Structure 1
Amino acid sequence: MRPGAATLTLLVLAAALVGAGVVGGHSVNYVSADPQVTPDGTVVVEGAFVEESGWAVVHERTADGYGEALGATRLPRRNAFYTDIAVTIEDGAWANWTTREVVVVLHGEDGDGEYTSEDPPLGGFGVIVTDRFVVERGDRAVVTGEDDFPQRADGPTVTVRQATLPERGHLVVRNRTADGRVVGTRTLDTGTYENVSVAVNESFYESTGGSFAARVSLHRDDGDRRFDGDEPPIEAGNETVATRFSVEPERSGGIVTTPVPTTAPPGGDGGATGNASATPGDGTTETGGQPGFGPVVIVAAAAVVALALGRARREA
């Protein structure tokens, strides 16, 4: 089971506590990717946290896990959270690609500056860190939003970090619970957008106190530029192109990290590139270093991390 953004918060916090000597014996590496469509074999790994420098590697999926490496991107910093990592599938594998399920795996490095089969897979909570996702060949369709911490909204909105639509369509926000109801939509033309703000139903937002689990998916437009509920999703294989993350109300305090731009992810393919909010995105980012923790915060957080570790074992 993939941890949500709240669990990711604990994973990153645990890494800092490991460095501070508060929690020991556990690796908290993490990686996440979602279904997407790509015209050139460059895929987006939505997020990764690494305790040591290494690689995000896309592998073929096999019946018992994963097999041959298809492409790799280096993650050079320790204790860093990366978002929107571009990994390009090698030409030989991409030449005959239609739709395949792949596995992204975090690997360490042996110091030679190149990914080889000698670079070992990294673990997290006692298992090799992987995530599976579907990659279809076609006009690019991808949406990302998951991060190391829940989004902090100052009102009834959510923000999608990146969205590429192969045609005019809709961003559809659902409450990621048993009801899965639609709580917000936004119509966009063909192209790539960064930091897209989507308004959320005010009564729903107020009823949750601003804390909820969101799932954002791409849907086609039926010609009226309005989402009515019956517009089909944009899919990769049989899976909807979507992302998921948690939302919390904005508040002062907490852990603050600074994104650092690295390599840019793929953009649109001949379509418009737009910024759907006031703040431009930075492409792939990494959150490096360790946040500062006061003694009281460390003691309290250590107890929370202990609970998270137990929960992760039960979910494995």
Structure 2
Amino acid sequence: MRRVVATLAVVLVLASVPLPVAAHANHVTAGTQVSPDGTLVVDSVYLTSDGYLTVHRDDDGEPGERIGVTEVPARSFQPNVHVTVDETAWAEWEPQSVHLVLRSDDGDGTFEPDEDPAIESFGSPVAASITVAAGERAVVAADQHYLQQTRRGTLDVRHLATPTEGYLVVTDHETGERVGTEAIEAGSHEHVTVALDGSDRGETRLDATLYREDETGGIGEPIRAGNASVGATFTVERLGGGRQAAATATATPNLVRTPSEPTETATETAGPTTATTVGSQPGFGLLTTVGALVLVAGRWRA
């Protein structure tokens, strides 16, 4: 009996301690965006072994012609990874879907499309599908693979770029209800803080979408890549605080302009913000816990 109790204690410890790979799995995340030169901003990439990130045209929902590649080192969480579409493909670019696919290196340190296979998870490539258009840079980058926790009732947007003054509008992914708005100057910004309405605790998914400023200074049209709105989807857990705590948050230095109050009538539905399809593989933390439970069961029967 004592052995069972001791083993159960070990299980609880293993389940609560983030082991090196438990916090990371092979993944790639990105969002719909507009690029001025064919360089795509990928939210985050993680590989458990040396490999590559490739860009492919869409072929009836599957990765087709390869039109870009960049190297990715092993066991290094990388935000804001840049991968460039080949010049010949970009020369006559029209808004379209592309696939970002992770591939493993066969060990020779050289990318060989026929020898370096796509990494799979549950039978499908670890990949993301996004819409890309040509134009002035517009992108919202988020660590979409990870849960963002907040006690102040705020959303942290790690990176965004917009070609015009406007707003970052945050809505509930399920209901479409607006829960936060932040004025944005034209240009590139890091760690934009958006105060979230309400004080309900718990986990939720939020869409952050870029909007242009209209002629009155309010919220105008969404910035689009083709028919898709430029933005990203976040998974957020509110631990406490809420709107009152969010009001005391320090404003992002780049966003000091005081805009006119956004008009409620300007929040038209402009199609969903394109969230990435995230492929990933389970970490060792879950496997360790399951193994320990099996051990407990075996000892219990003994």
Q: TM above 0.5, one fold?
A: yes
Opposite residue 186 of structure 2, the aligned amino acid is T
> Aligned residues, how many?
238
Question: Once the 2 structures are TM-superposed, how far is the Cα of residue 225 of structure 1 from its aligned partner?
Answer: 3.1
Task: Report whether the alignment pairs 1:299 with 2:289.
Answer: yes
Confirm or deny: 8 A CA contact 1:175 1:181 kept in the other structure: yes
Question: Once the 2 structures are TM-superposed, how far is the Cα of residue 156 of structure 1 from its aligned partner?
Answer: 1.6
- 1:1-316, aligned counterparts within 5 Å? 16=21, 28-63=25-60, 65-78=62-75, 80-117=76-113, 118-177=115-174, 179-201=175-197, 204=198, 206=199, 208-227=200-219, 231-250=220-239, 275=254, 299=289
| Distance change >3 Å, CA 66–CA 175, structure 1 → 2 | same
CA–CA separation in structure 2 for the residues paired with 1:107 and 1:38:
24
CA–CA separation in structure 2 for the residues paired with 1:18 and 1:189:
34
CA–CA separation in structure 2 for the residues paired with 1:61 and 1:181:
32
Question: Once the 2 structures are TM-superposed, how far is the Cα of residue 299 of structure 1 from its aligned partner?
Answer: 2.8
| Distance change >3 Å, CA 292–CA 58, structure 1 → 2 | closer
Confirm or deny: 8 A CA contact 1:195 1:275 kept in the other structure: no
Identity %: 33
Alignment root-mean-square deviation, CA: 3.1
CA–CA separation in structure 2 for the residues paired with 1:235 and 1:157:
25
Between 81-90 and 34-43, the greater mean CA deviation after superposition: 81-90
Opposite residue 96 of structure 1, the aligned amino acid is E
| Distance change >3 Å, CA 123–CA 18, structure 1 → 2 | farther
CA–CA separation in structure 2 for the residues paired with 1:301 and 1:243:
36
Q: What does the per-residue CA deviation read over 1:6-58, in whole Å, with 9 as the maximum and x for residues that have no partner?
A: xxxx9xx7983599xxxxxxxx5322221100010000122233222211111
The corresponding residue for 1:25 is: none
Paired residue secondary structure (1:211): strand
Question: Once the 2 structures are TM-superposed, how far is the Cα of residue 180 of structure 1 from its aligned partner?
Answer: 1.2
Question: Once the 2 structures are TM-superposed, how far is the Cα of residue 235 of structure 1 from its aligned partner?
Answer: 0.5
CA–CA separation in structure 2 for the residues paired with 1:210 and 1:64:
34
Gapped runs of 5+ residues in structure 2? 1-14, 241-252, 257-282, 294-302
| Distance change >3 Å, CA 275–CA 300, structure 1 → 2 | farther
CA–CA separation in structure 1 for the residues paired with 2:184 and 2:230:
15
Gapped runs of 5+ residues in structure 1? 1-9, 20-27, 252-273, 278-290, 304-316
Confirm or deny: 8 A CA contact 1:143 1:160 kept in the other structure: yes
Confirm or deny: 8 A CA contact 1:15 1:51 kept in the other structure: no
Between 238-247 and 114-123, the greater mean CA deviation after superposition: 114-123
Confirm or deny: 8 A CA contact 1:30 1:124 kept in the other structure: no
| Distance change >3 Å, CA 57–CA 292, structure 1 → 2 | closer
Q: TM-score, normalized by length of structure 2?
A: 0.70
Q: TM-score, normalized by length of structure 1?
A: 0.67
Bigger Rg, structure 1 or 2: 2
Confirm or deny: 8 A CA contact 1:194 1:276 kept in the other structure: no
| Distance change >3 Å, CA 246–CA 300, structure 1 → 2 | farther
| Distance change >3 Å, CA 210–CA 64, structure 1 → 2 | closer
| Distance change >3 Å, CA 214–CA 129, structure 1 → 2 | same
Opposite residue 248 of structure 1, the aligned amino acid is E
